[in-house]
Amino acid sequence: MSRPLAALLAGAACIALSPIFVRLSEAGPTATAFWRVALAVAPLWLLWRLREPRAAVRYASRMRLLGVAGFAFAGDLAFWHLSIRYTSVANSTLLANLASIFVTLVAWLFLRERPTGLFLAGLASALAGVGLLVSTSLSFSGTALLGDAMGVATAAFYAGYIFAVKELRERGETVLGLMATTSAITAALLLPVAIVSGETLLPHSAWGWSVLLGLALVSHAGGQGLIAYALAHLPAAFSSVTLLLQPVLAALFAWALLGETLVPLQIAGGLVVLAGIYIARTGSR
């Protein structure tokens, strides 16, 4: 196995662990999202300065885009962490992966980029799978449907983040620079939200801090860093399909570590969603 492929798979596994860390966190969901990025800021900035000591000075327009990216990522994390608390790990992670479909829909509606028939077929498949997931949520608990809705909101915010990052990359922003700066902006936005919400802001044990450190260093900095490295060495089409392993791995981790079982209808819905995302990605290239 090549080093980039190993990095891609390891990165997917690290990010797939993030819902487990969120479930185990002693802090509230928004507070956990804050610590996820806040604890990663210093290592990311240090790595950025060591790897790219002559980083270009940003202009005002780039700072505005970085602000947009940070806001979108804050919304993504806040809604995803809430979704994980209210619905199953499998549902929240699968629905968050609808972001790639939202990207193409926005490009169609606002940028006049006409979608292909293959994309529309994938969209129909993904929506059918979402319907199956939602139907299972109705039988789980009174909050599972709300969690599913937050998973969809997660995908919408992440689509906005993708658009902002794409524009920043085209203007010369580096991957490490993006991660370090947007993490700092995201942390600054999430902290007041966590305080106002009245959530538990600080973990009350060493175990609680270790969970937050794992989320920040393993899932956020480690997972995103490994994937960024892999994307620079592997074809984009192959990488995007391989990253669909994330929701599968997240469901497996939830089953093994949290005892979260999957019912047959939920498994069918997940497979249909994954197939739809795969088809839509193929049709949007």
- Tell me what pLDDT residue 143 has: 76
Residue 17 belongs to domain spanning: 3-283
Q: What CA–CA distance (Å, rounded) separates 137 from 270?
A: 13
| Average pLDDT value for residue range 240-244 | 64
Q: Are 123 and 276 in contact (CB under 8 A)?
A: yes
Instruction: Decide if pLDDT at 59 tops 50.
Output: no
pLDDT for 155 beyond 70: yes
For the CA atoms of the chain, what is the radius of gyration? 18
Separation CA 38–CA 31 (nearest Å): 10
Of the two residues 116 and 202, the one the predictor is more confident about is 202
How many domains does one find in the chain?
1
Q: What pLDDT digit, counting tens, does each position of 186-219 carry?
A: 999 999 999 999 999 999 999 999 999 999 999 9
Least confident of 84-88, 157-161, 177-181, 224-228: 224-228
Q: Virtual CA dihedral for 184, 189, 191, 192, nearest 10 degrees?
A: 150
Place of tokens 């393993």: 218
pLDDT category, 281, cuts 50, 70, 90?
low
* Predicted TM-score (pTM) of this structure: 0.84
